[in-house]
Amino acid sequence: MTFSASDAEPLRAAYKYAGTNGGLNRTPLVPHLSRFASFWTSLLLLFTFLNGSYAQLDAVESFCRRFGHQTALIDRKLYIDGGFINYNPLSQYSANYSNRGLHYHDLDTPGAGHMPQLYANLTKNSTIPDVNGGTLWADNINKRFYLFAGEYYQQPPLPQFTLWSYDTIYDTWESFGSPPQDDIASISYGAGVSVSETGEGFYYGGWKSNNTVPGWTGPPRAVSNLVKYDMDSNTWSTDPGPDSIGRAEGAMVFIPIGDGGMLVYFGGVQEPHGNGTWVGQPLDTIFLYDVLSSKWYTQTATGDIPPMRRRFCAGATWAADQSSYNIYLYGGASMPPHTAGFDDVYALSIPSFDWVKLHPTDGNRTGQYPHHSLTCNVVDNAQMIVLGGTFPTLDICDVPTQYGLHNIDMGQQNQEKALWKIFVTNLTKYAVPDPIINAIGGSAGGGATKTAPVDGFHNPDLRILMTRKASIATRTPTRAISTATATPEDGDSLSNGAIAGIAVGSAIALLAILFAVVLFIRRRRRKNRTTLTQQKLPTSQPEWSSATYTTTANTSSSPCSPRSPFPDNGPYRYRPSRPVELPVAVDTPPTAGPTLVNPDMASPAAVSSPGSAEIRTDTGTGTGSGESNLPRTKVDADGRVWVQVTSRIVEPASSPMSTTVTKHGYSPGTGSSAGTGGSPGGMLGVHGVGIGLGKYSYAGMEEEQRQQQHAAEPQELPINEPTGGASGRKGREGPLGERAGWDAAHGRPRHLTYYNP
- Please measure the distance between the N-terminal and C-terminal CA atoms of the chain and give it in whole angstroms: 93
pLDDT band at 623 (very low <50, low <70, confident <90, very high): very low
Give how far the C-alpha of residue 640 lies from the chain's centroid of Cα atoms, to the nearest Å: 70
Distance (Å, whole) CA 283 – CA 352: 15
Percent of the chain with pLDDT over 70: 58
* Residue 688, C-beta contacts closer than 8 angstroms, at least 6 positions apart: 559, 625, 675, 676, 677
What pLDDT was estimated at residue 720?
Answer: 47
pLDDT band at 750 (very low <50, low <70, confident <90, very high): low
Distance (Å, whole) CA 65 – CA 79: 16
* Residue 428, C-beta contacts closer than 8 angstroms, at least 6 positions apart: 380, 381, 382
Distance (Å, whole) CA 317 – CA 335: 28
The continuous run of DSSP H or E covering 109 comes out as strand 102-110
Distance (Å, whole) CA 524 – CA 526: 5
DSSP string, 421-468: ----TT-------HHHHHHH-SBTTB--S--S-TT--SSHHHHHHTT-
Lowest average pLDDT, out of 65-74, 75-84, 232-241, 529-538, goes to: 529-538
**Mean per-residue pLDDT, 719-735:** 42
Question: pTM of the prediction?
Answer: 0.61
What pLDDT was estimated at residue 749?
Answer: 55
What pLDDT was estimated at residue 109?
Answer: 96
Report the chain's C-alpha Rg in angstroms.
44
pLDDT band at 147 (very low <50, low <70, confident <90, very high): very high
Q: Give phi and psi for 453, each to the nearest 5.
A: -65, 160
Separation in Å, CA 657 to CA 553, 565, 586, 661, 727: 10, 26, 18, 11, 20
Beta-carbon-side half-sphere exposure of residue 86 (alpha carbons within 13 Å)? 26
Lowest average pLDDT, out of 484-488, 660-664, 708-712, goes to: 660-664
Q: How many residues are recorded in the chain?
A: 757
Distance (Å, whole) CA 207 – CA 311: 13
pLDDT in tens, 67-110: 999 999 999 999 999 999 999 999 899 899 999 999 999 999 99
Distance (Å, whole) CA 659 – CA 662: 10
- Residue ranges per domain, the chain? 546-757
**CA nearest neighbour of 83 among 11, 12, 189:** 189
**Mean per-residue pLDDT, 111-120:** 95
Mean pLDDT (the chain, rounded)? 73
pLDDT band at 374 (very low <50, low <70, confident <90, very high): very high
Residue type, 693: L
**CA nearest neighbour of 377 among 413, 328, 342, 323:** 328
Greatest mean pLDDT among 18-32, 280-294, 528-542: 280-294
Residue 365's CB: how many other CB atoms inside 10 A? 10
What pLDDT was estimated at residue 415?
Answer: 94
pLDDT band at 35 (very low <50, low <70, confident <90, very high): very low
What pLDDT was estimated at residue 460?
Answer: 94
Q: Checking phi first, is residue 360 left (phi over 0); if not, alpha (psi -120 to 50) or beta? A: beta
pLDDT in tens, 465-518: 999 999 999 999 999 986 544 433 333 334 444 444 555 566 666 776 777 776
**CA nearest neighbour of 323 among 419, 408, 412, 436:** 436
Greatest mean pLDDT among 32-46, 145-159, 529-543: 145-159
**Mean per-residue pLDDT, 687-700:** 36
Does 351 sit behind a cis peptide bond, omega within 30 degrees of 0 on the bond before it? Answer: yes
Greatest mean pLDDT among 142-151, 584-593, 618-627, 741-750: 142-151
Does 337 sit behind a cis peptide bond, omega within 30 degrees of 0 on the bond before it? Answer: yes
In 311-446, beta strands by DSSP E: 313-318, 325-332, 342-350, 354-359, 375-379, 383-387, 405-409
pLDDT surpasses 80 at 737:
no
**Mean per-residue pLDDT, 322-345:** 93
**CA nearest neighbour of 265 among 277, 248, 279:** 248
